[in-house]
A and B are shown apart, each in its own frame.
Chain A
């Protein structure tokens, strides 16, 4: 029985809708019924995986019109006004979900068609895009299970609204999503939220653009039901793995991406685990600058300009965005999303929660920074320090909370533009270190797949883990703080160094490091050892800086 439902739903969702409507004439409760019905059919993971995917490999062109697809997406724009639709056709059949829009073909010019305003209903229209920076291993893991029967489209899909994707000139899918079940999902959708939308794919006019003389057709997904996606993309639990994994992971990152600098690798790992704990008081992700990160040497090697660290990280993290700073990107592209003509254009920084953004400063050359560039720099710095991004609307700006970890690669002794919570000078250990930093993706030695999986789980688990602290350790930390300040004060009185006082900010910083350290060690509680280790980590970092 269920299986026949399944095949029906897969082959002709429109028909299923019509049949459902036969049994349920209440147009107010119908959307909820639809969503319940379809999510019931596809409740098991196997059934869910049966649904064809919509992604860069399988763009809208690869699917038949009005076929059922699932789309793992980031909500990009929620500012479109709701759309009205006839929930019931004149012949008392089901309306909405793109049904019935065609019906008027026959009646054509007969303008006397009576509109029954009582059956007008609203659906929410949003714009959703492929998750920016989604790493290919995630795509393989989540999408490969789907049926591959659909012919792989050879032609590259050209997005109809390229300005609505954060990273310019990147292949992606952008879809207009229409959600009928308003109260359950649509009203709470936020920008950069991740969700899997399952629905009927077709092509419709861009809503909200009706004033323009020739509105474009865009891929449109009429949602039957949707599911939230965790920030790790692949659901993670805090189950324990072998302890050695952490060391192996650090070694691998160090060898493949950082010229053997294990300490840097540890900091990179910590930085990728960071997340927003609370907004008030603000406990935000740590940001890291890797300074003295050499530029690619122009003479040697191939054309690889991207640090191999990025490829390494892309094997480990679910989402990784790269922001290659250059005068061109600064002055001509936009970092913050901006509404132009009531269309929210995306910006580099419109990234989903939990993603990591690597900013490379290698591409910056001498030259002027225009007003746009300054605004961009300011937006990025603001996001690094306070994890908020301002969306620019006419006459008003709206701040949105973000949760993006930042890793800045800088050639100098500190970042040219930004202040981060941690600055660590890179120390190459390998003899051919500098070349090792810019390997092509093919040259990276991958660990066995099982090991790589463990690496990914470690990071994923740590990202969702939680940490507590016992009273004894808290007491220890307090004493530590008092002691340190007293010591500082006495050295200050004796003169010599007018160095920075060890203050509350330093304590906060150290506590955040300790937390991340505990998470990476798969601990649930901060111990005295972890505290000491965090201090040590800080101390060695500071000696490197000196």
Chain B
């Protein structure tokens, strides 16, 4: 299909105007001549159609009138040049022909599209479209719809509302959801016309929009709407007259940019991508102004397909001198233009391929809307234009350059990785224009994309069906890292972490929301080397939404949080996000957690409770959100976990940090013949056969598991029921009471409010996993079980065999505290007994203490006790290392 009317068939249309045409009949051609009030011509950079509609209403007519006619004459003269016999002459000389009914068949050249009909239909659409039509349409194709708050809401003539708003805000852009065209009876054809011939249809729509703007304004003035009475109204209308209105269509199904091919040339397409580079604003010449050096005759030449053709000779017959036309720069008209390079987003790139890029040309209001790093959904006209490069040495090569002339930009497409709005100035990042999707509500991410949607709906259906399976919990945990042996409870814990609890904030608090309670669940795995902790982490990183994997050893505090760099292109300082910020809303997997430097780890304190990262660098002071769950793995201090020591002595981590983990699992390598045999069988079959045997058991594939989690996280927000609440209270009290031992005279801490919060989060996650809107008893039961299991392994004091949360919270168990007290007493008595002011040697003291005691004296414990005594001023340590002496201070 050719659209020659849009091809550069007549690049010098203006200059080619037959000389028999009255040269001064059109003031637009010769603006140097003083003329009547000029109305701006609609020159859209994104369209640059040869069919330039010139809304120049000289009087307030409320129909498609002379303008339309003039446009068609333009079109006809176009056709004329294409040697199509047409009797267009009369139109030229009769620009103001009465045209209450557009009687001529004025079609887009080479097609059956009747422009007048198109305009008429669009007019009806703008007048008649109501949100209810969209709802009916959506429902018919099986989309979930949002019920209207009131029946009236569905009955509002949507675009009239938009037009009023445009008048009030002075906006000139109307965003048009193309799906709405499909939803409105009578305008369905417009959808395909717009998609196929945007060059012609968009300007026609612009024209209709302007006409209707005027009509509505006039109507409102008549009806005496507020602010539109009398002179005010006249002023408004005059203003509208002077404006250029633009329709910005969007809502086509987006295609992958590698699928763009020559058949899409000059059609409207929609693609998604990531901005990697944007040029500064380029002044783009729209109309060139030439003056003949001989006779001072002036000519304006419009841009055509990105080119301006210099008239070779003076168009005036009397003059006709060759090569005398010179450009007068300050009389030319310019528009803003910007070239953007859009790269495929990682999720759109086929496996094993490198991303492609495409050039975008954006104009006027759309300039500077997108910045490098943004994800965009772009609607535009696909262009392939020949480029002539004429390098010195060789023959001219004709090559084709392809790019998109953008008509509509939507920021933040792609769902998962939206940009952080806090990095943009308030209000500075919105796409210009009025109007969103037809349902009047928020623009749902995918709402305009029908093909994708049905697939999405199908997937949803599937997920829902999955969620009602009674063994869904087992199925999901089994599907998590299926190649990893056993470790069922750990997998369950991590599974719940992936679902996460709900974030709560006390909205009624002052200052736009009170404190926020995190819903993210943090999990720490501690264990022997070679127990596939890293594999679990890698796996989670793959399926978790916005999962980021980092190794504690390799990452500095800077790599985790954010750093300031200078952008090589723009030479501006930019804030680059580190792992924690990148995983905002996801899971950050940190391997070798214990090998992290203290500085790095200190960052995590903030992240894990406050869920923010504060940056103060290179003049940039900011707080970034890091609402991330942390899944960390750590190795014990020695190469092997010593079961005779409490966990705090086994991991080199401050207790304050450990206590921030909701679940702490020990993964120990225990020798057990049956298990070992099973493990060996598993491994031998995996590693020695050429095609590793796949587990035949019923597991969910990775992408489905990921989709399931994603869906639950975004759609399900469970609320705690009364029964569940009561159970939570009961479980908490029970857990606390575990420390109450009637025989002992001191109290151990077995559960703190942190544990209660953890239980709430885990219960919520479990409910979410079931796709349940309510947290029920079973959720709480399972959450408590998981908690108990995790606490049993991690918070047990090996000396007493009792669970003591104090171990995790402060690093010292109650039993340990008691032991320290005993030791302190003994040390003091030894020192007192040794007599003399010289004190005793460190090693001697330990030895003597050991002789008295039935249990082995731990050197670290001893050191702690001495330090405490020193702080109290009771003893003094002199000397270094082995020669340390402990002296009793008199006082």
Contact = CB atoms under 8 A, between A and B. Distances in A.
Say if A and B assemble together: yes
Interface of A: 77-86, 101-102, 104-105, 108, 111-112, 114-118, 120-122, 190-191, 204-205, 207, 210-211, 214-215, 217, 277-278, 280-281, 283, 339, 341-342, 344, 378, 391, 393-398, 400-401, 466-469, 474, 477-478, 481-482, 485-486, 488-489, 498, 500-501, 503-508, 511-512, 514-515, 526
B687 A111 contact: no
Residue of B7, B352, B393, B685 ringed by the most chain A CB atoms within 10 A = B352
15 contacts: A104-B396, A115-B7, A191-B354, A217-B393, A217-B394, A277-B690, A281-B686, A342-B341, A395-B343, A400-B352, A467-B688, A474-B685, A478-B680, A504-B530, A505-B530
B397 A204 contact: yes
Interface in B1-38: 1-4, 7-9, 11
Contact of B400 (A84, A341, A515): A84
Interface stretch (B355-363, B448-456, B650-658): B355-363
Chain A interface SS verdict (over half): mixed
Contact of A117 (B265, B356, B683): B265
Nearest to B307: A111
B353 interface: yes
Contacts of B688: 467-469, 474, 477, 511, 514-515, 526
B592 to A, nearest CB: 12
B265 A395 contact: no
A50 B486 CA distance: 60
Given A342-B276, A501-B640, 19 more contacts: A78-B353, A80-B356, A81-B357, A81-B402, A104-B388, A191-B352, A205-B391, A205-B397, A283-B687, A393-B355, A395-B372, A398-B349, A477-B684, A482-B673, A498-B639, A504-B485, A504-B531, A508-B683, A511-B683
Interface of B: 1-4, 7-9, 11, 258, 261-262, 265-266, 274, 276-277, 309, 339, 341, 343, 345-346, 349, 352-359, 372-373, 384, 386-389, 391, 393-402, 483, 485, 528-532, 554, 638-640, 669, 671, 673, 676-677, 679-681, 683-692
3 interchain residue pairs of minimum CB distance: A84-B400, A120-B262, A79-B354
A201 to B, nearest CB: 15
Given A504-B530, A511-B684, A512-B687, A108 B399 contact: no
Contacts of A515: 687-688
A116 B2 contact: yes
Nearest to A505: B530
B878 to A, nearest CB: 35
Contacts of B640: 498, 500-501
A394 B685 contact: no
Contact of B690 (A78, A204, A466): A466
Residue of A280, A401, A466 ringed by the most chain B CB atoms within 10 A = A280
Contact of B355 (A398, A468, A485): A398
A498 B2 CA distance: 81
B531 A81 contact: no
Nearest to A515: B688
A283 B277 CA distance: 40
A121 B358 CA distance: 17
Contact of A396 (B346, B398, B681): B346
B354 A504 contact: no
A504 B486 CA distance: 13
B262 A122 contact: yes
Contacts of B399: 83, 101, 205, 207, 210
A478 B681 contact: yes
Residue of A116, A394, A478 ringed by the most chain B CB atoms within 10 A = A394
Contacts of B11: 111-112
Nearest to A381: B554
Contacts of A341: 277
Nearest to A341: B277
Contacts of A82: 258, 261
Contact of A78 (B9, B354, B531): B354
A507 B680 contact: yes
B346 A398 contact: yes
A500 B528 CA distance: 10
B389 A84 contact: no
Nearest to B279: A211
Contacts of B357: 79, 81, 342
A342 B531 CA distance: 42
Nearest to B276: A394
Contacts of A101: 395, 397-399
A369 to B, nearest CB: 13
B396 A105 contact: yes
Contacts, number: 205
Given A474-B688, A485-B671, A501-B640, A190 B402 contact: no
Nearest to A478: B680
A342 B532 CA distance: 39
Contacts of B638: 498
A438 B373 CA distance: 50
Contacts of B530: 501, 503-506
B583 to A, nearest CB: 15
Given A114-B7, A214-B391, A344-B354, A504 B679 contact: yes
A114 B391 CA distance: 23
Contact of B692 (A79, A83, A115, A278): A278
Contact of A84 (B2, B258, B262): B262
Contact of B356 (A81, A120, A401, A507): A81
Nearest to B373: A395
Given A117-B384, A398-B354, A210 B389 contact: yes
B372 to A, nearest CB: 7
A469 B684 contact: yes
A507 B680 CA distance: 8
B7 A481 contact: no
Residue of A111, A215, A400 ringed by the most chain B CB atoms within 10 A = A111
A215 B389 contact: yes
Nearest to B532: A504
B673 A486 contact: yes
A391 to B, nearest CB: 7
Nearest to B685: A474
Nearest to B694: A280
A10 B807 CA distance: 82
Residue of A344, A481, A506 ringed by the most chain B CB atoms within 10 A = A481
A281 B482 CA distance: 10
A165 to B, nearest CB: 17
Contacts of B687: 277, 281, 283, 508, 511-512, 515
Residue of B7, B393, B686 ringed by the most chain A CB atoms within 10 A = B686
A210 B261 CA distance: 19
Nearest to B692: A278
Contacts of A486: 671, 673
Contact of B680 (A481, A514, A526): A481
Contacts of B8: 111, 115
Contacts of A214: 391
A187 to B, nearest CB: 8
Contact of B352 (A84, A190, A467): A190
A396 B386 contact: no
A120 B384 contact: yes
A378 B556 CA distance: 13
Residue of A82, A115, A398, A466 ringed by the most chain B CB atoms within 10 A = A115
A118 B1 contact: yes
A514 B345 CA distance: 42
B354 A478 contact: no
A482 B396 contact: no
Residue of A102, A210, A503 ringed by the most chain B CB atoms within 10 A = A503
Nearest to A480: B680
A521 to B, nearest CB: 15
Given A281-B483, A508-B687, A108 B692 contact: no
Contacts of B531: 503-504
Nearest to B309: A111
A220 to B, nearest CB: 11
A419 B331 CA distance: 69
